[in-house]
Amino acid sequence: MKAVVLLGPPGAGKGTVAEVLSEKGYRHVSTGDLLRAQIKEQTPLGLEAKALMEQGKFVPDNVVVGMIRDLISNTDGSANFLLDGFPRTLVQAQKLDELIASENGTIERVILLRCPDKVIVKRLSGRRSCPECGAVYHMLYNPPKNGEVCDNDATALIQRSDDKEETILNRLSVYAEQTAPLIGFYAEKGLVREVNADQSIADVRADVMEQLA
Ligand code: ADP
Ligand code: AMP
């Protein structure tokens, strides 16, 4: 198996970029989406994660590593994973290395989406998503065609409960403390490719494709 890691602060556009890459044969795996699915189904894991996510805190490493372990071990060797929102801590990055080694796989690249905090606050406060298919919109920068319903399935779009300004600021500081150190971790392995995420969606997508070519 092969994996590409999408790294970058919340709101940098990881999910938005991943939407086009899944058309290129990558399997998009977002730990945030997996956790939100557990919340929707009201599983014990979902109930534990909900309170933490609403405060902008991380769920425990063993929980997300367990989800990724299940996915990787249930997939055949030819899978191409696009990891979005995982790993987010050094412990998760080390566990991912172990999981990938145990499957004789490789991390091909780490795409780092750089975006200033001011831009992120604007992006996250206007974000809307489809609870049915997971499509991501922005009311100003990438609006749905009709009102506030999904272009794909006409489901009413929702605003995530962790996209309030206060929680956004908390998530940015958690990113700086716990996730930003992964840049050095992967740079030492020569895997990091930087993309300026403070450009139009089309330009960011094109730059990411170029880094993966
Ligand atoms: P992440 O997955 O990194 O948290 P998203 O892909 O959900 O980020 O994007 C956050 C918000 O910003 C969404 O509302 C999305 O529509 C919008 N967005 C993403 N990329 C851009 C961009 N390049 N320019 C303007 N808005 C963007
Ligand atoms: P995201 O959809 O990637 O913005 O993630 C939303 C929230 O889910 C995060 O703020 C965390 O609370 C939680 N989460 C997602 N991925 C992880 C992870 N790899 N480690 C810990 N918490 C995570």
Consecutive H or E run containing 68: helix 61-73
* Residue 150 within any structural domain of the chain: no
Q: Average pLDDT, whole number, for the chain?
A: 94
What CATH number corresponds to the domain at position 61?
3.40.50.300
Measured in angstroms, how far is the CA atom of residue 194 from the centroid of ligand 1?
Answer: 17
Task: pLDDT band for 75, please (50, 70, 90 cuts).
Answer: confident
Write the residue with the smallest CA distance to atom 13 of ligand 1.
127
Q: Which of 75, 56, 76, 78 is CA-nearest to residue 67? A: 75
Catalytic residue check, 127: yes
- Cα–Cα distance for residue pair 94/189, rounded to 1 Å: 13
Of the candidates 14, 109, 123, 205, the residue annotated as catalytic is 14
* Residue 130 within any structural domain of the chain: no
* Residue 161 within any structural domain of the chain: no
| Greatest mean pLDDT range, 44-48, 164-168, 184-188 | 184-188
> What is the reported pTM?
0.95
* Residue 144 within any structural domain of the chain: no
Best residue among 86, 138, 198, 203 to mutate for probing ligand 1, ranked by most atoms within 8 Å of CB: 138
Query: Which residues are paired to 30 by β-bridges?
Result: 84
pLDDT tens, position by position, 105-136: 999 999 999 999 999 999 999 999 998 888 99
In the chain, how many domains are there? Answer: 1
* Residue 165 within any structural domain of the chain: no
Residue 23 is predicted with a pLDDT of 81
* Residue 40 within any structural domain of the chain: yes
Which range marks the domain in which residue 37 is found? 2-115+173-212
Of the candidates 95, 109, 171, 205, the residue annotated as catalytic is 171
Residue 13 is predicted with a pLDDT of 97
